[in-house]
Amino acid sequence: MNIAVVNENRGFERRVALVPAVVSTLVKQGWSVTIEQGAGLGAAISDQAFVEAGATIATDIAAIVGSADVLVKVSPITPAELDHLRSGQIVIGFLNPLGNPQTIGQLNDRGVTAFSMEMIPRTSRAQSMDALSSQASIAGYKAVLLAADALPRYFPMLTTAAGTIPPAKVLVMGAGVAGLQAIATARRLGATVEAYDIRPAVKEEVQSLGAKFIDVALNEETVATGGYAKEISQNAQEYARQVLTKHVHDADVVITTAQVPGRKAPVLVTEAMILGMKPGSVIVDLAADQGGNCEGSQPGQTIERHGVKILGPVNLPSTVATHASQLYSKNVSNLLKLMVKEATIALDFSDDIISGACLCHDREVRNQRVKDALAQLQVQV
C-alpha cells in the first residue's frame, strides 16, 4: 500500500499532509510512503527528515500521484493532480466539497474514492481525526497574535516607574474552537476578555478560561442538530448587535469567528458599531473569506475604517505550518487506521466516520449535500 504526499508549498499553502514522525509510524505498519521533493519545506521539514523516517523522495508528479493507493492532501485537488488520478485510488484532504463540487464530480467520474476532512463527524469518537478543530484552534491563537501586533498598546497590565498600563480589553465573538483558543491566548497575554456566542452551552467553557460571558437573551432556538449554531432571524441579529454595541465600543481588540455551517457568516459588527470604537483599535475577522462577521472586512487584507484596523486573514493555520502539519498529519493517520484491516484497505461503510467523511466511492456520490450541489450545477448548465 503506497501513500503519496505532494508539494502544496507553491502558492500560499505551507502545510504538508504528513510529517516524518507519522511517516515513520505508517512505514512500521507496512505502508510505503512517497513524498514529492520539497513538500515539507514550507513547514520547515527537509526531504532528509522524510528519508530518515523511511519515505522515498520523488519528483515526477505523474508517477507520484499515479502510483499511489492513497493520495493525502491538505488543500483541494488541483487540475494537474486530477489528470493523474485513476479508478480505485483514494484521496483524503480538505477537499472543499461544497465550495467546489465540480471537482468532486470529476473525481467520482474517474472512480476515485474521496474523503473530506471537513466532513469528519464532530463526535467524541472522531475527535482524534477532527482536523477542522485542530486547525481552527491554530487560527484562534494566531488571530490574537496578529491583533497584538497591530494594536498600538500593550496587552498585559504593567506597573512601571513611568506609570501603570491597564490591560487591553479583548472581545471574542463566536466561542467555538477558534474563539475558545483566542480567549485562552489573549488571557495568556494578560488581556481582560469578554466573549459572546449564540450557543448558551459555551458559557461555562468561556468562564473556565477566565473570560466574562456576555449573555444576550435571544428568544429563539439557536442550536441545530449536532450542536452547531443555527442561522438566527434578522430581528434576533439586530437585537444582539444592539446589546453588543457597548462592548464593541469598549474593546481595544475584537476577534470575530462566528460561522454557521453551509451559510454566509453572520454580520456581528456593523460600520455604525465601528464608528464608536477608539482610534487604534483592531478587529480581526476570521470569517472574512466566508462573507465576513465585520462589515467591510476584506479576505487577505488589512483595511482601516474610522481609525480602526480591520484584518481579514485567510488560512492562518498555514502560517503556523510546522505544528499545523503535525496535528493535521496525526488526524489523517488516525483516519487511515480506520481504513485498514489486516494490511489491506477495507472501507467499512457501516462506520459513521468512514461513511460521514466519504464523498464518493465506486462512481457513486455518497454525500447528499454534494449530490444536491452537483444537481444544482446541472440545472444551471
> Which residues of this protein are in contact with ligand NAD, per CB under 6 A?
122-124, 127, 130, 132-133, 136, 173-179, 196-199, 227-229, 232, 257-261, 266, 268
CB 223 within 8 A of CB 199: yes
- Among residues 89, 133, 259, 325, the one annotated as catalytic is 133
Give catalytic status of residue 289 as yes or no: no
How many CB atoms neighbour CB 21 within 10 A? 13
Nearer to ligand NAD, 193 or 198 (CB): 198
Give catalytic status of residue 208 as yes or no: no
Q: Which of 266, 255, 242 is nearest to 169 (CA)?
A: 255
- Among residues 228, 289, 351, 369, the one annotated as catalytic is 228
Nearer to ligand NAD, 266 or 312 (CB): 266
Give 295's DSSP letter.
T
> Partners of 212 in the beta sheet?
194
As measured in angstroms, the least distance from the Cβ of 294 to ligand NAD is 12
Question: CA–CA distance from 209 to each of 140, 194, 247, 250 (Å)?
Answer: 14, 10, 19, 20
Nearer to ligand NAD, 229 or 365 (CB): 229
Nearer to ligand NAD, 80 or 272 (CB): 272
As measured in angstroms, the least distance from the Cβ of 136 to ligand NAD is 5
The angle subtended at Cα 101 by Cα 98 and Cα 107, nearest 5°, is: 130
Strands of the chain (E only): list them. 2-5, 32-36, 56-58, 70-72, 90-93, 113-116, 158-160, 163-165, 169-173, 192-196, 212-213, 253-256, 282-285, 302-305, 308-311, 340-341, 344-345, 358-361, 364-365
Nearer to ligand NAD, 176 or 312 (CB): 176
- Among residues 15, 75, 89, 130, the one annotated as catalytic is 130
As measured in angstroms, the least distance from the Cβ of 9 to ligand NAD is 26
Nearer to ligand NAD, 133 or 185 (CB): 133
As measured in angstroms, the least distance from the Cβ of 292 to ligand NAD is 13
Q: Which of 334, 330, 276 is nearest to 305 (CA)?
A: 276
- d(C-alpha 347, C-alpha 338), whole Å: 8
As measured in angstroms, the least distance from the Cβ of 253 to ligand NAD is 17
Compute the chain's Rg from CA coordinates. 22
Give catalytic status of residue 122 as yes or no: yes
- d(C-alpha 141, C-alpha 348), whole Å: 36
As measured in angstroms, the least distance from the Cβ of 258 to ligand NAD is 3
- Among residues 110, 122, 153, 369, the one annotated as catalytic is 122
Give catalytic status of residue 133 as yes or no: yes
Question: CA–CA distance from 307 to each of 171, 222, 242, 279, 327 (Å)?
Answer: 18, 34, 22, 5, 38
- Which residue of the chain is nearest ligand NAD when measured via CB? 176
C-alpha cell at 356: 460521514
Helices (H), 17-130: 20-28, 47-52, 61-66, 79-84, 101-109
As measured in angstroms, the least distance from the Cβ of 174 to ligand NAD is 3
Residue that is written with C-alpha cell 467523511 in the block = 357
Nearer to ligand NAD, 179 or 313 (CB): 179
Give catalytic status of residue 366 as yes or no: no
Q: Which residues are known to be catalytic?
A: 122, 127, 130, 133, 228
